[in-house]
Amino acid sequence: MLLIHLNNVSKTFQLKGQSVEAVKNVDLDIEKGEVFGVVGYSGAGKSTLVRLLNLLETPTTGTVKIADYEMLNLSNRALRAARQEISMIFQHFNLLWSRTVHDNIAFPLEVAGVAKSERNARVEELINLVGLKGREDSYPSQLSGGQKQRVGIARALANDPKVLLCDEATSALDPKTTSSILELLHDINQKLGLTIVLITHEMPVIQKICSRVAVMEDGNVVEQGNVLDVFKHPQQEITRTFVRQVTDPDDANQAIEEQLREEKGTVIRLTFVGGDAGKPVVSELIRACDVTVNILQGNIAQTQNGSYGSLFVSIEGDEKQLQDAIAFLQGHQVEAEVISDA
C-alpha cells in the first residue's frame, strides 16, 4: 500500500537575492511499513526533502501526499492534525533540557490534551519499548548520546504516528551506539509496522535497515531502488562511491597497488549477491580452471534484502586460462571486473 507520494516536487530558496534550487523535480513513492533511505552528501538536498514531507518547508512546485492527506491543500488546523501522524527525530536530539526523560516523552501528549493517567501509561510503555527503564527521572544532561536519541524516538512515537522521519539521527553517535539505535528503529518498524524515512550521508546506515534507497546529488534523486539491486548495479558514480563505503575495505586499494608493483597476475573484483555470497566459488575456480588465485581483500555486507559480497583476487595463468576463469565465474552468477592486467 502506497503511503507517501511525491510528484514533481521542487524547492527554491531566495538567498541574498539569488535563487537556490535545493530540491529539483523529485518523484518518490514509499510503501506503508517500509524503511526507506535517502542518502547524499552535505548540500545534496536530502534534509530539505524530508522537511517537505511534513511541510516544515513548503514546496515551490509539485504535490505531497501522505496517507489520505493532500498536504498542500490542508488548512492550518488540519495540517497540525496531520503532523501528529508524521513524527521526526533529529541529529542533535532537540530535547527539553529542563524536563526529565518521562516529561520529555509526555510533552506531545500534554499538547494533544491527553488525560494524565492515560499519558503516564503511554510514557511507561514507550520507556520500556526504547530500553530506558530506570531512567525516567533523569535529565538529558545525565544521559549518553544514545540514551538521548532513545528519548527522542520515544517522544516521536508518543502520538502513535504513521510515519517517522529521521534526519541524520545517528550522525552525532559513535559506531557502536549508531548500531544499537538502528537496531531499535528496525525493531520498532517490525513491531509497530511504522513507516520510517531515514536521511543519512552514510551508506552503512542504509545497508543495515533500509529496504529501498534514493540517492541524491545536487538536489536531484539520481538513482533509487531496492538496496540490494543498487549495491549490485549502481548506475551513477555518486552511487558507486556510496556503495564502496560498505563493500570495499579501506585497505583494499593498498593491497591492489602492492600486487601491481609485484607484477603478478590479473587483479579482478568479484561481486557475489544473495546466496552466492556464501558459496565456495574461488576454491571451485582453482580446481576447474587450473589457475593460481591470490585473495587480496574481501568483504560481505548484509542488507535487508540479502547479502552482498565483494572480493579482490589476483589470478595467475595464461590468456586462455584467464578467459576460462572469467567465464566460469560468470556461469556461477558472480560478476567479474578486471581491475588491471599483469
Q: In the listed set 186, 218, 245, which residue is the last one of a domain according to the structure?
A: 245
- 254 with 234, same domain: the answer is no
- 304 with 171, same domain: the answer is no
SS3 of the chain: CEEEEEEEEEEEEEECCEEEEEEEEEEEEEECCCEEEEECCCCCCHHHHHHHHCCCCCCCEEEEEECCEEHHHCCHHHHHHHHCCEEEEECCCCCCCCCCHHHHHHHHHHHCCCCHHHHHHHHHHHHHHCCCCCCCCCCHHHCCHHHHHHHHHHHHHCCCCCEEEEECCCCCCCHHHHHHHHHHHHHHHHHHCCEEEEEECCHHHHHHHCCEEEEEECCEEEEEEEHHHHHHCCCCHHHHHHHHHHHCCCCHHHHHHHHHHHCCCEEEEEEEEHHHHHCCHHHHHHHHHCCEEEEEEEEEEEECCEEEEEEEEEEECCHHHHHHHHHHHHHCCCEEEEEECC
Q: In the listed set 223, 245, 267, which residue is the last one of a domain according to the structure?
A: 245
Looking up residue 101, the CATH number of its domain turns out to be 3.40.50.300
- 153 with 25, same domain: the answer is yes
Structural domain boundaries, residue 24: 2-245
pLDDT of 259 above 80: no
- 181 with 328, same domain: the answer is no
- 161 with 25, same domain: the answer is yes
Give the model confidence (pLDDT) of 289-302 as tens digits.
888 888 777 776 66
- 50 with 192, same domain: the answer is yes
* Percent of the chain residues past pLDDT 90, beyond the cut: 55
Q: What is the pTM of this model?
A: 0.81
- 45 with 171, same domain: the answer is yes
- 289 with 151, same domain: the answer is no
pLDDT of 104 above 60: yes
Give the model confidence (pLDDT) of 108-144 as tens digits.
999 989 999 999 999 999 999 999 999 999 999 999 9
pLDDT at 329: 85
State how many domains the chain has. 2
